Amino acid sequence: METLWAPWRMAYIDRVTDSQPSAECIFCRALGAGDRESLVVHRGALSLVMLNRFPYNPGHLMVAPRSHGGDLAALDADELVDVVDQLQLATRVLRSEMGCDGFNGGWNQGRVAGAGIDTHLHFHLVPRWSGDTNFMPVLAEVKVVPEHLDTTWEKLSGAFAAASAG
Q: Which is nearer to Zn ion, 28 or 98 (CB)?
A: 28
| Dist. CA 86–CA 65, nearest whole Å | 10
Cα 126 off chain centre by? 7
User: Nearest approach, Cβ of 66 to Zn ion (angstroms)?
Assistant: 9
For Zn ion, which residue of 120, 129, 143, 163 counts as binding (CB under 5 A)?
Answer: 120
Closest CA to 27 of 117, 96, 105, 95: 117
- The phi, psi pair for 113, rounded to 5°, reads -90, 0
Rule CB under 5 A: choose which of 10, 13, 27, 52 binds Zn ion: 27
Q: Which amino acid is at 27?
A: F
Which residues make Cβ contacts (< 8 Å) with residue 134, sequence separation at least 6?
none
# binding residues, Zn ion (CB under 5 A):
5
Whether residue 119 contacts residue 28, with contact meaning beta carbons closer than 8 Å, is answered with no
Cβ 4 to Zn ion shortest distance, Å: 30
Taking the least distance from each CB to Zn ion, the nearer of 41 and 48 is: 48
Asked if 25 touches Zn ion (CB under 5 A), the answer is yes
Q: Is 42 a catalytic residue?
A: no
Q: Which of 68, 92, 111, 148 binds Zn ion (CB under 5 A)?
A: 68
Q: What minimum distance in Å lies between the beta carbon of 48 and Zn ion?
A: 11
Residues contributing to the site for Zn ion (CB under 5 A): 25, 27-28, 68, 120
